[in-house]
Amino acid sequence: MNPSRVWIFVFLSLMWGDVDPAGGEKHSLTYIYTALSKPVGLPGIHEFTAMGLLDGKMIDYYDSEHQTKVPKQPWMEERLSKEYWDKGTQSRRSKQQWFKVNIDILMKRMRQNDTDVHVLQWMHGCEGEVQPDGSLQFQRGMDMYNYDGNDFLSFDDANAVWVAPTDAAVPTKRKWDEVQVLKEYTKGYLENECMDWLGKFWSYGENQTRKASPPEVFLFARNAKVETNVILMCLATGFYPKDIVLNIRRNGRILTREDGVVTSDVRPNEDDTFQRRDYVEIKRSDKSDYSCEVIHDASHMNVKNSWDHQLPPLALVDSALLSSVVEWEESWSWSWSWL
């Protein structure tokens, strides 16, 4: 892999998918480890990093430069003992060595040399749904490996088997499937131990994680590259938690990707809130009724803003806007959602 492009894979987005808006309140605990085959000499990128995330927010961090597991939320530091952080540091150092050994094994298996930089990632965690009594019920677990930006190996929790999507992973799958205790431990960790920690961390940070912030909603038009068209954009920003429903409607009908709707999906703001923006390109002459519908259950907010058909001044080519939209979309396609 070209060293100049390795950062794209280091910051590969490996987060949970969107929560079903029809379901209840859900929370997740995820741990992500990233190892490089050699240093790249880029600021902020280390040979090995490890982090824990609660609902997409970083709660602890470790890297090969400082080699200490540290809290990233005030309540983590307040509620967990020095022993917890000392043991966590030792665990991270052990995993750092494990990754170093195994990335060498994979490079030899794939007949790769050390000219390029190679990346091995591991993500594991669990997701739970809040029950009427306030407890968390296990919904799903995830344990997966990624090599050089491609899926390498994952654990099928329901059937307790390892899944190899690529031929290079088959030897590992066979070896790990033969170790019954490994499969039992992995399944038990995802469904029990991980859920115990999720419940504990969620309760520790309950005031922070459960304080809902409603979104501000804006619907406006901007010039498109084609002067006969405009870009109709719906923006919801400043909300927390991140679960949200956003629809652009035309004469009451929800528009989809097939209608040309482009979505940013949910992304973080700098103040720990989130934003999402969807847009569709339409004719300037379109007199249809357009509206932006936003539902944020956590803050009990359900709003629908109608477009006032106010058009931006006609420009020959609003290339600056087009470029900014494209750059904004691309800049997030490989960034972490917790940054």
What are the structural domains, with CATH classification, of the chain?
Answer: 3-209 (3.30.500.10), 216-332 (2.60.40.10)
Tell me which residue of 279, 285, 288 sits closest to 232, measured CA to CA: 279
* Amino acid found at 109: R
- According to the model, what pLDDT value does residue 74 have? 85
- According to the model, what pLDDT value does residue 183 have? 93
Cα atoms found within 13 Å of the Cα of residue 286, Cβ hemisphere only? 18
Helix (H) or strand (E) holding 329: helix 319-332
CA 239 from chain center: how many Å? 17
Q: CA–CA distance from 269 to each of 53, 212, 262, 336, 337 (Å)?
A: 16, 15, 19, 12, 9
DSSP 170: H
Angle, in degrees to the nearest 10, between helices 180-188 and 170-177: 90
Structure confidence by residue, pLDDT tens digits, 8-30? 344 444 445 444 444 578 999 99
- According to the model, what pLDDT value does residue 207 have? 56
- φ/ψ bin of 185: left (φ > 0), alpha (ψ from -120 to 50), beta (otherwise): alpha
* Amino acid found at 288: S
DSSP 191: I
Structure tokens given for 107: 């490079």
Structure confidence by residue, pLDDT tens digits, 165-207? 999 999 999 999 999 999 999 999 999 999 999 999 998 887 5
Q: E-strand spans in the chain? A: 26-36, 48-54, 57-63, 70-71, 119-130, 136-147, 150-156, 161-163, 216-223, 229-239, 245-250, 253-254, 262-263, 267-268, 274-283, 290-296, 301-306
Ranges under pLDDT 50 in the chain? 2-15, 17-22, 209, 316-339
Q: Exposed, middle or buried by CB within 10 Å (0-12, 13-18, 19+), for 9? A: buried
Separation CA 189–CA 186 (nearest Å): 5
Q: Are 279 and 262 in contact (CB under 8 A)?
A: yes
Structure tokens given for 10: 């280091």
Separation CA 139–CA 81 (nearest Å): 29
Phi, psi dihedral angles at 68 (to 5 degrees): -140, 130
DSSP 5: G
